[in-house]
Structure formats: structure tokens, C-alpha cells
Chain A
Amino acid sequence: MSKLPLIVVLSISLPVFAAELPADPLNSPAWSTIAGRYFKGQPVVFDARVKVTAPASAEDPLDVPVQISAEGLADVQEMLVVADLNPIQKILSYEPLHAAPSLAFRFKVEQSTPIRAAARTRDGVWHLGGVWLSAAGGGCTTPSYGSADPVWQTRLNEVRGRLWPADGRGTQRLRLRVIHPMDTGLANGIPAFYIDRIVLSDAKGLTLARLNTFEPISENPVLSFDLNGSGAVRVVGGDIQGNQFSAEITP
């Protein structure tokens, strides 16, 4: 027991990479908060190869389509997507183990905000790209459609998917739709209830990609992945209340 304080001291005094924080090209009022929360002590660069594609203005703040890509970067270990000015900033994190560093999804936005994608390469550097999304507000604190539309009550965690065959780059595209209300917990009287993990693997059991999703993902999530190889893909996932799903998507 006498060792305990020593160990604690060691763990908090580990050296940090005290890199200078680069200026934010998006000029976000929340940049230093976001940097401190998600990239503290880690090297950060803004990099044009990390692309976020979103509409200039959110037609439906509950369902904003976004695509992220770091196709020009080699060896992407992890991708992180945050919306600076959402009440819950973190939208997802993604490990494209045997997949292209790209992903498409839909999310809920509360007000105009930068959306950032960050890709961490093997050397530990975070490469950031992003865009401003203009929105009228309401997304994250409005009950999801799920609370008005009873579809999730009878079809919770039902998975639909489609595979498109490999293109010239050797990846096949998987699009998934899962029935889930994805409640944020911010709407009065409706507890947080969302899918927090999806793992994709191939027919041999090799894990292709791991995705962690958070409250801002739109209800009945629609997700598109570019996976290496070809053939059937196994989907396994679950939500924060212990409900699990699995499905096999065949070409």
C-alpha cells in the first residue's frame, strides 16, 4: 500500500508533448476548449488532406449528412469527429483497421458550428480538417423522431445493409441502417439511449473496422464504410442499455 502514492505521482507526471497549439483556420470560439479536451498534449496539425463534406446549411438539423475522408494520409489509426458548438461535441470515433480512412454518417446539430474530423497517424500526430455548418438550431435538445414515431419500439436494433462491389481502389462500400432512437438525454424526460459501438469483420473473422458512436448521431443511423477486400461482412454492435445486434451483409 505504501507504493500507491508513488505510482499515482508517476502516472500524472508522464511527459507530455507540449506542442504549440496552431491557430484555427475555422476561427472557432471553442477551438482552445476542443483542443484541450480531445488533443491535450498531442501534436496537432491542420491538414488539407483531411476533408469534411457537409451542406453549407442544415436543411434538417436532426439529420445532417456528413462525409469525412483522409484518403491522402497513410497509416490512419483513428479518426475523431466533433462539432465544436454542439452541447455534446463528440460525434464518433473510428478505427479503420482494414478500411479506407473515410466514413459517411448523419448527425443532429443544435446551432451553427464547425464540424471537425481529426485523423491520427501512426506517428501520433492528429491531422485536422473541417468546415462550418450553418444551422437554425434545435437538433440536440429536440426529442428525436423516435419518441414520436414508434418504429424503434417494435424494430429496435434491426439492421439493414447493402454492399457495393470493390472499386478500382480495392475497397467495397458498405451502407448500414440500424433502427434506433439515438436519444441524447438532453430532451426533458427522455433518458440517453444510443448505439455506442459497431464492429465490422469479414468472413474469416478479421476485424475490419471499429466505430464508437455518441449521442449526436441521428436516429436510425445511416453509415457508409469503405472496407478492404470483398465478400460478406459481419456487423456486431450494441447500445448503452445493453441491447445488442448482429447481422451479416452479403454482396
Chain B
Amino acid sequence: MSSYATARNTAGARFKALVGLALAASVSSAFAGPVTDAMILNDQNTPNDVLTVGMGTTGQRFSSSTQINSDTVVDLVPAWSFSFGGEKQRGQETQALVHNGKIFITGSYSRLWALDQKTGAKLWSYEHRLPEGIVPCCDVVNRGAALYDNLVIFGTLDAKLVALNADTGKVVWTETIDDFKGGYSYTAAPLIVKGKLITGVSGGEFGVVGRVEARDAKTGKMVWSRPTVEGHMGYLNGKENGISGKTNATWPGDLWKTGGAATWLGCTYGADTNQIYCGTGNPAPWNAFTRPGDNLYSTSTVAINADTGKIEWSYQGTPNDHWDFDGVNEFISFDYKKDGKTVKAGAKADRNGFFYVLNRENGKLLSASPFVTKQTWASGVDLKTGRPVESNNRPGDPQKAEKGSSVFAAPSFLGGKNWMPMAYSGQTGLFYVPANEWGMDIWNEPITYKKGAAYLGAGFTIKPLYDDYIGALRAVDPATGKIVWEYKNPAPLWGGVMTTAGNLVFTGTPEGFLKAFDAKTGKELWKFQTGSGVVGQPTTWEMDGEQYVGVASGWGGAVPLWGGEVAKKVKDISQGGSFWVFKLHKSGKATVAQQ
């Protein structure tokens, strides 16, 4: 409509343009300005903003802020709360981003809001118009946005990427990842690496082809694409860039064409190695008898060169996966000292129950230790070959029958740890892993691929292992693989973890609490009831000399949809959809005096 104003009154329009410029100048001098690559790489060290989901590209979810600490956390009280509104109250698995006086938060059903950082007032919202035919496997969640330049970028359940102007919420560009009718969707938070928007795909239950893509973050134009199923061609700047792996080396016949390995949880980045680390999901279909071989690069971590889009190394946790040990779990870079030398490592707590530590430069396995109490499928991992030592726990081949023989396996397919990200504190040297203790009965069924239809070939039902708890927040020492402390929770844990230099670990529970623990001892120090289950990712920032903690509340995710007996246990949890912000209590008098 501005074109009409210009046509109508050129002089007036010029005045307005001048005012606009003057205002823009005053805004950019008062705030931090557009988000740059340097700011993103330094995110972990700048407590005044949160520019990345994962609180830094390595995904450590560690904050250097200390105002809220193991002594003061008892005084943590709500500052404000924002309701996502509408009737769309489903799982809220998101993490907030904080920049330029605004908080950006995504919600279920592909929605995004910009809130005033001081007051929590809504500045603008974007609600994506979703078609009816979307097929997200595991609830209509979104796990957060990315910031770059003056853009807020997020993905939608109909497999699109939308870049919005951070000030106005207007669409700057939109791109389609793939056809949602073919089973594709998108729920992860995108990652920014060197001006590129790094995304994966969701849809591993529908025989999609997993891949990682890099687009120009400012325009959405594709730079490179790297399939995570062996046999598929990669591309760089529109030209062929080599096949991933070697066709048919680890896949029989044509099955690699619908091979799954969805990169549905996104990636992390190690600036010192220039490698993008992406977890890959289960091979498709679940019935492993259809696809003898290791089925690369399913259930793996792949390290992709950020510039060339080529795989530099990969490590596979569950070769020829038969249990949906969908190994998308985040790979977090960290350094530790061994025999006086610094080891450039990375760690991953896999769905299959092993906590892996790898050399992040070459993918070599350094250690693999169980972080759950029961693993029926393997007795350990051979450190020489990097392969699991299997214990004859695969369900039977159905052949022509309707159903093959069933086995009991642990962990269950929802994993020793699912999507919810762990945290690493360089201060304590510990990883904080949100684990779950459950097993399953699983059996195979014959299956053929049909576009857009579930592609499993398996039946299953989940069972808790213990009467008193399923969830367990565990502090894991990566140097020894030992569990230093644990907190047991009745319902399965499904929210992200954050740790701070204030000797704290935060995470949420389906029972509705955001909780804080002593990072060294695991003692529960604080909790707050948010009104619905917390499956979001807590984060923290500082503003005007005060430290804030924010978390989304809203029960949902895969547990109520896939959890078998467990779903029954959690069916009475209230739905919700809100964002809670906390800070340390100050008396009213103190607040007035400060103003």
C-alpha cells in the first residue's frame, strides 16, 4: 500500500522516508542490529541474547550467566506468561530465541510469535495455513526457529521453509523442501552456518529419502544438498556433487530409493572442524528382513563439510536397525583432557541406549557406555570395529505369514533418549541426559511401499520397565561413561535440558513442572507448575542486569500417540500452549527504587 502513498503525495512520502531512516538509525544504535555469522558463532558467550536453538552452534545448551544459581534459585518467580491461544494446544517442543528486544517463539501447528522482551506483549504472529493432508508422525510440533540478518526462519508441517521480517512478521521468502503428500514434513529448528540455512527432512515413517540441505539464508536459494541414504546423488550449486556412499554397497535392490534415514532433528556445527553434524533416523521400512545390509547412512551421525556438502565421516550406532533406534540424537562438540592432552570430541546419547563419545575430527569411536539400565539388543560396543555386540534380540521374519514372532526389547523404539536435547557443562564436565526406561514387544509384518502411507512393516507396544518411574535425568561423565547422579521422574521425560554456570540444570516434566537441579549433586532445588506438561527446551538470557529463564509449556509429542501402556498413564495430563518467563524475586519497593 505504500506505493499508493508515494503516488499520492511524493513530498509527504519523502518526509516519511526520512523519519523512517532516522528511526532505523536510532534503533540500530540502541540494539545489536542484524544477526551476523560472527554473532551466531559467539552465541554461547553473549548472555544478552539467544540467537540459536541449542544456545550455540555446538548445541551444548550451557549459559555463562550466574545470577540465578544454586543459592538464589529458590527465589525464582514468574515474570510473565504468554498464551499461544487458539484451540491448537498440542506438544510445545520449542526453544525461544532472544534478540533486539524481541523474543521469537514457535508453537504447534506451524505458528510463530514475536514478543516484547520486557513485557511479553505480542508484537506480531505468523500462522501458517496448513493443508489437511499433512502427515507428521509424532505430533504437530515445532522445535524452534533460526535468526539471520533481519530474518526469522522456521519450517512448517507441510515441509516448507518460511523467512519472516523480524520486525514486521511479513514473509520475505518461502521455499518448499518437498511434497508433503509424499510423507515429508518439517519440525526441527534450522541451523545457520556461514550464511547458509541448514535443514533436514522429517518423514522417516513414510519412506522418504533423508537429506541435509544448505540454502542461502537471505534468499532461500539452494546451495548444496546431501542425501543420507546411500546411492542418492548430492548437488552443489545446481551441479552433481557425487553420490552418497556407493550404490547397493549396504542396501539390496531398490530399497535405498525409499530408504528413510530422515534428518528430522536437524544438525549442530563445529566451527573448528567446519563440519555439520547431523543425526539420521531409522532405515525404512522398520522390518529389517526386507533390507539386509548396514543400510548406510541410517541411524548414524554424519559429518558434512559445510562448504562442499560432502560427507567427511559417519558413525553408525545401529547397523541394519530392527528396533526403530532412530539415531537422530544431537551430536554435541566438547573438549576434554586425557593423559594431559585435549581431545576434540563429540557426544551423542543414542535412542539405542548407548552414550557414544567420538573423535569429532574423524568420527573414531572413543567410548560407548549405557545410559539406561536395560539394553536387551546388545551387550556392548566393540571399540576396535565400532560395531555393537548384538545379543540375538531381533524379532522374527514374517516371510509369508501375517505376523512374525515377537520379542521383548529394551530400550523401546521411543528410545533411551528421544528428540529432547541433553546439555553439557564445561564447568562440571558432565552431560545431562534426559533418559527413559521402557521396553517393547515388537514383531514384523510384510510391507510394501506406497507413496504417502506409513512404511513400517512392524507392530509394537511399549511397556514401562519399572513401576515407580520411567524418566531419569542422568549426569554422565563422558571421560568414564559413569552416571554421577540421577533424578527419577514418574512420567517419561520429553523436554530439553539446559545447564548454567550457576551450577544449575533445568528441565521440564510431563507433570507440568519446570525443575532446577544442582549440577554437581542432582539435588532438586526448585520447581514451578506451569499448568500443562513441559516438553519444551528451556533457555536463559540477561536483560537490564537481571537473568531470565524461559520455557514453553504444552503437553504432547510422540508419547501420547505411540506410547502404548505409557500413553494410558499420561492421558490425564492437561493440554496447553504457553511460554513462561522467570526471574529472581525482587520486592516491589526495590523495583520502584530502581526505576
Contact = CB atoms under 8 A, between A and B. Distances in A.
Contact of A190 (B4, B7, B129): B129
Interface string A118-140: 00100010000000000000000
Contacts of B15: 7, 10-11, 14
A183 B8 CA distance: 30
Contact of B129 (A7, A14, A95, A241): A241
Interface in B111-132: 111, 127-129, 131-132
A18 interface: no
Contacts of B12: 11, 14
B238 interface: no
A19 interface: no
Contact of A189 (B19, B22, B88): B88
B340 interface: no
Contacts of A10: 15
A201 interface: no
Contacts of A154: 181
Contacts of A168: none
Contact of B4 (A1, A8, A78, A153): A78
Instruction: Sort chain B's interface into a size bin.
Output: 20 to 34
Contacts of A14: 12, 15
A167 B1 CA distance: 32
B86 A189 contact: yes
B133 interface: yes
A193 interface: yes
A3 interface: yes
B18 A7 contact: yes
Given A150-B131, A150-B132, A93 B7 contact: no
B162 interface: yes
A224 to B, nearest CB: 22
Contacts of A150: 131-133
Chain B contact surface mostly: mixed
A35 to B, nearest CB: 16
Contacts of B171: 240-242
A3 to B, nearest CB: 7
Nearest to B4: A78
A246 to B, nearest CB: 15
A239 to B, nearest CB: 9
A191 B126 CA distance: 8
Contacts of A240: 170-171
Contact of A77 (B7, B19, B25, B173): B7
Contacts of A212: 1
A156 B163 CA distance: 20
A241 B87 contact: no
Nearest to A150: B132
B129 A181 contact: yes
Contacts of A189: 86-88
Contacts of B18: 7, 11
A193 B174 contact: no
Contacts of A93: 1, 4
B411 to A, nearest CB: 37
B16 interface: yes
B129 A191 contact: yes
B547 to A, nearest CB: 31
A242 B129 contact: no
A118 B367 CA distance: 75
B133 A241 contact: no
A191 B127 contact: yes
B133 A7 contact: no
A206 B569 CA distance: 66
Given A93-B4, A242-B172, A183 B16 contact: no
Nearest to A210: B3
Contacts of A7: 15, 18-19, 22
B448 interface: no
Contacts of A242: 162-163, 171-174
B112 to A, nearest CB: 11
B587 interface: no
Interface string A1-35: 10110011011001000000000000000000000
Contacts of B1: 93, 212
Interface in A58-94: 77-78, 93
Nearest to B125: A191
B131 A188 contact: no
Nearest to A238: B171
B26 A78 contact: no
A164 B12 CA distance: 41
Contacts of A181: 129
Contacts of A153: 131-133
Given A11-B18, A188-B86, A190-B129, 5 more contacts: A7-B15, A77-B7, A124-B8, A181-B129, A242-B163
Interface of B: 1, 3-4, 7-8, 12, 15-16, 18-19, 22-23, 25-26, 86-88, 111, 127-129, 131-133, 162-163, 170-174, 181
24 contacts: A1-B25, A3-B22, A4-B22, A4-B26, A11-B12, A11-B16, A14-B12, A78-B4, A95-B3, A120-B8, A153-B132, A153-B133, A181-B129, A185-B127, A188-B86, A189-B87, A191-B127, A212-B1, A240-B171, A241-B129, A241-B174, A242-B163, A242-B171, A242-B172
CB-CB nearest 10 A-B residue pairs: A191-B127, A242-B174, A242-B171, A193-B129, A153-B131, A11-B15, A4-B22, A7-B19, A191-B129, A189-B87
